[in-house]
Amino acid sequence: MHPLLKTLFGVVLTLTFGPAFAGTEGTKGCDAGKREWVEYIQDNLPFLFCDVDSPFVKCADVSPIQCRKIASAAATECLAKLDQTIPPLLNRTEAGDRGEAVGDCMGGKMFKAIKLREDKDPGCAGML
């Protein structure tokens, strides 16, 4: 697995363990509904993949806005592809597993769509 994807998975797992579960305590422990989880991932993952300091922006010739458009399309496609594997209620473990799968799928699509360059920024050397 690509080292950059491993870093992004860490972000994805943090994301899925955070606000997606807010307000659900007390109903089914820490479960999140599928619709809420998918919406949260769709709304937030493109911003995480395309932060100004993200390799997909810092190490490429795309703006954060262009990157987010690509990431949003990738998220939509990956969530649709993985839809049947997402249960109606997700606990933290399931959300982490599904978040990792979505992140892996998105990362692969992002690498194909955005050409990363090690020479773009000193921080990019060795990341790719």
Q: What's at 123, amino acid-wise? A: G
**H/E run at residue 109:** helix 92-113
pLDDT in tens, 95-128: 888 988 998 999 999 999 998 888 888 888 776 6
DSSP string, 27-41: TSTT-EEHHHHHHHH
For residue 61, the model assigns a pLDDT of: 92
Residue 125 has a CB neighbour count (10 Å cut-off) of 11
Quick one: pLDDT band at residue 84, thresholds 50, 70, 90? very high
- Averaged over 12-38, what is the pLDDT? 63
- Averaged over 62-67, what is the pLDDT? 95
Taking the chain, what is the end-to-end CA distance rounded to the nearest angstrom?
12
Q: By C-alpha distance, which of 92, 71, 89 is closest to 13?
A: 92
Give exposure, 25-34, as e/b (b: 16+ Cβ within 10 Å): eeeeebbbbb
